Each structure stands twice: as C-alpha cells, then as structure tokens.
Amino acid sequence: MTPSEEEQIANQQRLDSIATVNRKNDSIRMAAQFERARQDSTRKSGDLQESQTNAESNTIPSQVVDRDKFGAFANSSSSEKDKSYYIENDLMKIKISAQGGKIVSLQLKEFQTFDTLPLLLIDEQATKFGLTFFANNRKIDTDKLFFQTSDEHGMKVSGPEKRGFSMRLYTDATETTFNEASYIEYVYSLTGDDYMLDFDINFVGMEGYMDPGTSYLDLDWSTKLLKLEKHIDRFNGPSVYYKFYQDDVDNLSETSDDEDKLSTRLKWISFKHRFFSSTIISKDYFLNANIKSYDTEREVENNDEIKENARGGSYLRSMEANIGLPFVMGRETNIPMSFYFGPTKYNLLKKYDIELEKQVPLGWGFLAWINRFAVLPVFNFLEGFGWNYGII
C-alpha cells in the first residue's frame, strides 16, 4: 500500500533529522579528533623543546662545569696531556707529574731489585700525594689539579751542587688566564750527593681565597710498595714507622694489617721496606696523622686496572698517611719539609740526627750492640761487591 503524501513528508523529515544529527555528531567527532591532534602536536613540540633545553643544559661548556666545581682553580682542572718532568742527582732519578705537581716515580740509581730491575721506591701507577682544603666554600684536592712550571727541561745536579725545581698551582685571573700573583707552590730542592730532598710548600696571595681562620691543612700520601727483596722477613716486614715530636720512634705491625690515629705532634712518618724507606719529615712538626698499612693482594685481586699496571703482580703492601699540617694564613706562608728516599743503612740514617736509624731493627741490649758493631759492618762489606738487594 502506497504511503499517503502526509506519511511521505513525515518520513522524509525523520530521515533529514537523522542525517542532521549524524552530521552534527560527525562534526563533533572531527572537532574532537582535531583537538586531540592539536594537543598531541603541542605536547610533542613541548617535549622536543624540553629535550632541546635539557640537551643544552647537559652540553654546557666543560669549563663552566669545572668552574662551578673547582672555583678559582677551574683553569687548572684539565690539561691537554699530563706532562712529566725529571729531576736527578747522583743517587736518584725522580719523575714529577704536572697533575698534582707530585713525585710519581723514583729510582735509586745505585741499586737493583733481586731480579736485576731498576729499583723504584715509588711506582707511577700507585701513588697519591696532595693537599685538601677549602677555598671559596669548595673542597680543593691538589692531587687532581694541574701545576705549571717555568723549567720544562727539569734539572740535574751533581756533587755538592744544590738546585730547586718549582711547580705552581695558580688561581684564575679570567676564564682563560692564570693569576700569577696568587698560587700554591711546591719546591723540590736537590743536592747532588744526598738522598735527602728538601720540599717546601708556599702559599702566595691566597688570603683572598682561603678562610682566614684556617689553622691546618690535610696532606694525603699513599702508595703501594713494590716488591724489592727476594725474601720477605716476617719479623722485619714493610711497615709505617713514625717519630713523635721530641719523643720516641714507634711503628705499626710488621706482620699484619694495622692502623692508628696519632693525635699528638710528629716529626716524621716513613713507609719502610726491609732495606729502603720513603720518609716525609717536618722541619718543625706535624699536628697529627692517621696512618694505615694493609695487604695489597686483596685490592689487586679485586681491581683489574691495578692488576694490569702492577709489575708482574709485584705490589707488596699498601700504606696510607693523612697528615695534619700546621698553617697560618698570610700574604706568603711557607711549610718547610723534607723527604728521605734511600736505603735504611744505620750509619747513613744516623747522620741526619732525627732518629731515622731506629727503623733498623737491632734488637735489645747486648744483641743490639753485637748487631751494630759486628753484623752491620759485615753487611756493608758484602754490599760493596755490588750484589742486588734481596740476595744479601
């Protein structure tokens, strides 16, 4: 039955109404999709901008980062390469690194190890030496900073001649230049025929950077002793020896790991092998020290870099000293010290008149007398044949 005209009109209106609603819904959907797309685009643009900002913040020039960390010493925090310099006399050849301005290798020229290798008291891969202090509210460790020298060729002295070699750690004048009126200076003074090496630390023009109330500085010195002798004497092994200021000499255990906190003044601290020693000596006194001696094997086994650098696994023992240096701030401040790097010969050590010879174990009473006047002369006689240490 054919719908009436009125029914056809009503049906068409209903279809038109549905189409209108559908178009409206489509428009709403399209608008929603557009808004989502716009939001996605905005978010991605923001993410990109944030990523670029982060990238820019992470690629701030290293000098700016260094300046924030090292403050007035930022220009000394990096170098194209770590330069080295040699100072030498008749008895020793000493290598000094620009990084830290410190001794990193020391050869005793008149001696060899038991296996005929050059006898090194200090090994380049296993030594730390530096001051720690606060400057402009930043902790400064000189061991990590690069020193400058005006003598690129090092120095060599012989006989009674004495000369000094200077390394300076300058503060910054600008972001690319040093302030040559403000620096910390290490001065190594060497005589041609002596195992004693004078060592002065000078502070010049530093009063504007360091706290005027600074009364002490920390000096950190640590090393791993190389095996020099063929046989290890379990009763005369490597140890840390020390002399109290105007008092007696003592030492850590020679047979086991040991450490001590020495809260009183000290004259010297020595890292001692059986036949050789490396000793730091104050011209006045050290305030105090924390000292430590421990077996190196465990550290070597757990550290691939140390194992790779060790000379055939020849590290014997690790030794550490954190030393308090008395300090008085001024326009120019000097801390005078010395190093002794050499054999532990009783008569040689005794001539310095600071009881270094007490590192030589002579025993007690009558036995000490026998060792000093009978055994030691025989030892010195045999040494005269040029035998390597560790054999005699």
Q: Are residues 45 and 164 in the same domain?
A: no
The Cα 237–Cα 276 span in angstroms is: 11
190 within a domain of the structure (yes/no) = yes
Contact 317, 223 (CB under 8 A): no
378 within a domain of the structure (yes/no) = no
Average per-residue pLDDT for the chain: 80
Better pLDDT: 63 or 264:
264
Q: Are residues 53 and 127 in the same domain?
A: no
Q: Are residues 158 and 31 in the same domain?
A: no
Transcribe 66-124 into DSSP letters. HHHHHGGGGGGS--SS--EEEEE-SSEEEEEETBTT-EEEEEEEEEE-TTS-EEEEE-G
pLDDT class of 386 with cuts at 50, 70, 90: low
pLDDT class of 79 with cuts at 50, 70, 90: confident
385 within a domain of the structure (yes/no) = no
The Cα 221–Cα 129 span in angstroms is: 5
Total domains present in the chain: 2
121 within a domain of the structure (yes/no) = yes
Q: Are residues 84 and 35 in the same domain?
A: no
Better pLDDT: 293 or 377:
293
Q: Are residues 155 and 26 in the same domain?
A: no
User: Would you say residue 334 has pLDDT above 70?
Assistant: yes
Q: What is the per-residue pLDDT for 120?
A: 92
The Cα 194–Cα 154 span in angstroms is: 18
- Which residue, 272, 138, 286, 268, is CA-closest to 218? 286
pLDDT tens digits for 218-252? Answer: 999 999 998 877 666 655 678 999 999 999 999 99
For 64-73, 134-143, 263-272, 283-292, which range has the lowest pLDDT when averaged over its residues?
Answer: 64-73
User: How large is the average pLDDT for residues 2-15?
Assistant: 54
Q: What is the per-residue pLDDT for 237?
A: 76
Q: What is the per-residue pLDDT for 81?
A: 74
Cα 47 off chain centre by: 42
Q: Are residues 151 and 55 in the same domain?
A: no
Dihedral sign, CA of 68, 69, 72, 76? Answer: negative
For 111-120, 130-139, 335-344, which range has the lowest pLDDT when averaged over its residues?
Answer: 111-120
Q: Are residues 146 and 267 in the same domain?
A: yes
User: How large is the average pLDDT for residues 107-127?
Assistant: 90
Here the CATH number for the domain that contains residue 235 is 2.70.98.90
Q: Are residues 175 and 28 in the same domain?
A: no
pLDDT class of 314 with cuts at 50, 70, 90: confident
Range of the domain at 277: 79-361
The Cα 245–Cα 49 span in angstroms is: 65
Q: Are residues 122 and 188 in the same domain?
A: yes
Q: What is the per-residue pLDDT for 235?
A: 56
pLDDT tens digits for 175-209? Answer: 999 999 999 999 999 999 999 999 999 999 999 99
Q: Are residues 2 and 96 in the same domain?
A: no
Q: Are residues 220 and 355 in the same domain?
A: yes
Q: What is the per-residue pLDDT for 389?
A: 46
Better pLDDT: 134 or 33:
134
Q: What is the per-residue pLDDT for 178?
A: 96
pLDDT class of 299 with cuts at 50, 70, 90: low
74 within a domain of the structure (yes/no) = no
141 within a domain of the structure (yes/no) = yes
